[in-house]
């Protein structure tokens, strides 16, 4: 877990602090499949801006996720560019909207923030290519390599009585 101690930075209102930090990212579990970030510790640009009422936190990095395609299970890779922003008020009072969950006792949890930012930037499906045809639902063959169609399946004989009833109506 990568953290950053906010007490080490002394900023006046309007000042900025910029640094590059290695952020530890764990593999993702999506749809029962494992997606590994490459690199596992990407370098992220961290920017802290002191405002009159709090601290603006910005995180920017790029990472590639590698794992199986969600349609055909072939190898797939996706580059995710992350630009995340959080705000931590100096005196938030009772409002949860003025605080970030990644700051606890002046310690910024960069790993959790980066992981959540990557998860929010992901598309609905990670595919090997945009037009992936997937697997055949009947025989399980890869439709990208072997496009084919199956003839009409015979009806299960257990449904024959219902078929006769349908025809009689």
pLDDT, tens digit (0-9, with 9 covering 90-100), for 135-165: 998 888 999 998 888 877 677 788 888 888 9
Which pLDDT score, from 0 to 100, does residue 93 have?
A: 73
pLDDT, tens digit (0-9, with 9 covering 90-100), for 34-61: 999 999 999 999 999 999 889 999 999 9
Locate tokens 């002191």: which residue? 50
Which pLDDT score, from 0 to 100, does residue 76 have?
A: 95
Mean per-residue pLDDT for 107-122?
95
For residues 23 and 45, give the distance between their C-alpha atoms in angstroms, rounded to a whole number: 10
pLDDT for 128 beyond 70: yes
Locate tokens 């996706």: which residue? 78
For residues 160 and 155, give the distance between their C-alpha atoms in angstroms, rounded to a whole number: 8
Which pLDDT score, from 0 to 100, does residue 153 have?
A: 65
Which pLDDT score, from 0 to 100, does residue 94 have?
A: 72
pLDDT, tens digit (0-9, with 9 covering 90-100), for 83-106: 999 999 888 777 777 889 999 988
Helix (H) or strand (E) holding 163: helix 160-168
Scored b (16 or more CB within 10 A) or e, 5-35 reads: ebeebeeeeeeeeeeebebbbeebebeeeeb
pLDDT, tens digit (0-9, with 9 covering 90-100), for 4-38: 999 898 888 889 999 999 999 999 998 889 999 99
The three-point CA angle 141-144-149 to 5° equals 60
């Amino acid at each position: 877990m990568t953290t950053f101690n906010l007490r080490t930075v002394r900023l006046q209102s309007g000042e900025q602090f910029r640094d590059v930090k290695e952020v530890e990212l764990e593999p993702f579990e999506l749809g029962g499949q494992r997606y590994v970030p490459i690199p596992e510790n990407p370098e992220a640009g961290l920017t802290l801006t002191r405002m009159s009422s709090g601290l603006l936190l910005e995180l920017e990095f790029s990472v590639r996720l590698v794992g199986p395609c969600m349609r055909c299970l072939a190898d797939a890779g996706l580059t995710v560019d992350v630009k995340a922003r959080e705000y931590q008020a100096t005196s938030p009072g009772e409002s949860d909207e003025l605080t970030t969950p990644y700051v606890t006792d002046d310690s910024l949890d960069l790993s959790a923030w980066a992981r959540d930012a990557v998860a929010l930037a992901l598309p609905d499906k990670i595919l090997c290519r945009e037009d992936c045809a997937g697997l055949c639902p009947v025989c399980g063959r890869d439709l990208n390599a072997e496009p084919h169609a199956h003839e009409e399946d015979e009806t299960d004989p257990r449904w024959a009585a219902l078929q006769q009833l349908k025809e009689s109506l």
